[in-house]
Amino acid sequence: MKLFLALAGLLAPLAMPQTSNGTIPGTSGDWVYRGDSQCCGLQTIFTVTLDLLKRKLQPLFPGPFNVTGDMRSSEMPELTSMHTLFLREHNRLATQLKSLNPRWSGERLYQEARNIVGAMVQIITYRDYLPLVLGPAAMRTYLPRYRGYSDSVDPRIAKVFTKTFRYGHTLIQPFMFRLDNQYRPTGHNPQVPLSKAHFSSWRIVLGGGIDPIIRGLMATPAKLNHQNRIVVDEIRERLFEQVMRIGQDHLALNMQRSRDHGLPGYNAWRRFCGLPQPNTVGELGTVLKNMGLAQKLMAQYGTPNNIDIWMGGVSEPLEPNGQVGPLLACLIGTQFRKLRDGDRFWWEKPGVFSAQQRRALASISLPRIICDNTGITTVSKNNIFMSNSYPRDFVNCTSIPKLNLASWREA
């Protein structure tokens, strides 16, 4: 297996003790925007000429990959669809801001629209997504109510977070689902095996655009993480099979990443979080509430101290009404609190937006963004990240509140 090493500070100096995790701190939607000089001119063109206001797909630049702030956006059609959705939202906002403020420059329109998109990402992440991941008890412990910016909080991404947040691989279904406007399977191949979907943006272009895929995401529940089936075979045995000579193993890559970074094992992170550290197979079985799994892990690792952080984290029983166990709840919650409290541009921080603008932003939702930027007219009425069943849990877009930009009008 090839080693997937992180960039070691562009390989210089060789004695450098820290590796780079390639992740920008913050939750302000940077994955939507590309920040290199090669693309900055393109971003300005998008805003000034409003080239992408029509419901087009992501641009290809300069080759067969989508232009976004995250090089992985072409990895899956679902990822490409979400990047496309937020690019459209950026340009929709820029258009509305231009009509409110005709004298604003293209740069001003771009930056204001980007600020709003960043706030949307923060609100959706912290209000709608994280409570379902961590569970209510862990939310109270690790992500209490926002009390303001602190310059003593380091918002940089911890290396351990780049491993533990990959818990999401346990939620992946073995298929990509495409649904029509009645939420029925659509197209020649409505359920594409994941191994056939990787790096296949052409499926969006030739398969009806992003709408069928986004409907599939809304109406298809995520896989539940079971201790006896942590991930599906499509990513355990056939990852990137279409573009590599042999399929990869996502679990193995996740564990190799932590070794590349020299991260300590399971018990060291349990200690960091103030959790009991099991030493025997019996104690590990008690922590996992699964003696059979504990025996398998001990047979492979010899001691809980050696268990890779990703493997140990996803093996724990889930928190009540959450999607992760106690260790991952601690590590994920701690990182997201630092990202929030150490962010000078957090949307709730006084001076970032006016009080009227903050009140307007509080009404936004991912279903509304979908309504405004696709041909989809029926969306989830509950938290979009919950398991929603059509038609019981869906409503017409007309009942979803819109963002009122009146408070962005300059006198």
Which residues fall in the annotated binding site?
A: 169
Give the separation between CA 88 and CA 130, rounded to whole angstroms: 25
Q: DSSP string covering 62-97, please?
A: SSSSB-SSSGGGGS-HHHHHHHHHHHHHHHHHHHHH
Residue 170 has, within 13 A of its CA and on its CB side, a CA count of 26
Q: Is residue 379 classed as helix, strand or coil in its secondary structure? A: strand
In angstroms, the first-to-last Cα distance of the chain is: 62
Give the separation between CA 294 and CA 307, rounded to whole angstroms: 11
The residues pairing with 93 across neighbouring beta strands, listed in sequence order, are none
Residue ranges of the annotated binding site for heme b are 169
Among residues 260, 283, 282, the alpha carbon closest in space to that of 270 is found at 283
Strands 378-380 and 191-193: unpaired
> Residue 15, exposed/middle/buried by CB under 10 A (0-12, 13-18, 19+)?
exposed
Give the separation between CA 224 and CA 341, rounded to whole angstroms: 31
Please count the other Cβ atoms lying within 10 Å of the Cβ belonging to residue 41: 9
Give the separation between CA 352 and CA 389, rounded to whole angstroms: 38
